Chains A and B, each alone.
Chain A
Amino acid sequence: MPELTIDEVQIAIAGRHTTATALAHDFYERIRKEDPGIGAYLTVCNDRALAQAARIDAMAAEGKPLPPLGGVPVAIKDVMVTNGVRTTAGSKILENFIPPYDCTAVARLEAAGAVILGKLNCDEFAMGSSNENSAYHVVHNPRDKSRVPGGSSGGSAAAVAAEMAVATLGSDTGGSIRQPASFCGVVGLKPTYGRVSRYGLIAFASSLDHIGPFAKTVKEVALVLRIIAGRDPMDSTSAEVPVPDYVAELEKPVKGLKVGVPKEYFGSGLDPEVGAAVESAIQELAGLGCEVVPLSLPHTEYAVPTYYIVATAEASANLARFDGVRYGYRAKANTLSEMYRLTRDGGFGMEVKRRIMLGTYVLSAGYYDAYYLKAQKVRTLLTRDFDEAFKKVDVIAAPTCPTPAFRLGEKVNDPLAMYLADIYTVTANLAGIPGISVPCGENHEKLPIGLQLFARHFDEATLLRVAHAYEQSRKPT
Chain B
Amino acid sequence: MKVTDKDVAYVADLANLELTEEERAHMLRDLNSILEYMERLSELETDQVAPMAQVSDRYGKNNDESRQGSDRFAYAIREDVKGGLRESLPQDVAVKNAPDTDGTFFEVPKVIERQ
Contact = CB atoms under 8 A, between A and B. Distances in A.
Determine which residue in B11, B26, B49 has the highest number of CB atoms from chain A within 10 A of its CB, and name it. B11
A194 B59 contact: yes
Q: Which secondary structure dominates chain B's binding surface?
A: loop
Nearest to A237: B56
Nearest to B15: A360
Contact of A341 (B17, B54, B94, B95): B17
Contact of B76 (A237, A333, A360, A415): A237
Contacts of B96: 98, 100
Contacts of A101: 89
A204 interface: no
Given A305-B37, A353-B23, A380 B3 contact: no
B97 A97 contact: yes
Interface-central residue, A328, A348, A358, A432, by most chain B CB under 10 Å: A358
A416 B52 contact: no
A305 B42 CA distance: 11
B14 interface: yes
Interface stretch (A116-124, A289-297, A319-327): A319-327
Interface in B22-66: 23, 26-27, 30-31, 33-35, 37-38, 40-42, 44, 46, 49-56, 58-59, 63, 65
A364 B110 contact: no
B68 interface: no
Interface in A330-352: 330, 333-342, 344-345, 348, 350
Interface of B: 3, 7-8, 10-12, 14-20, 23, 26-27, 30-31, 33-35, 37-38, 40-42, 44, 46, 49-56, 58-59, 63, 65, 75-76, 78, 85-86, 89, 93-100, 106, 108-112, 114
List the 8 closest A-B pairs by CB distance, nearest first.
A432-B55, A376-B51, A330-B99, A207-B54, A327-B97, A236-B76, A377-B46, A193-B55
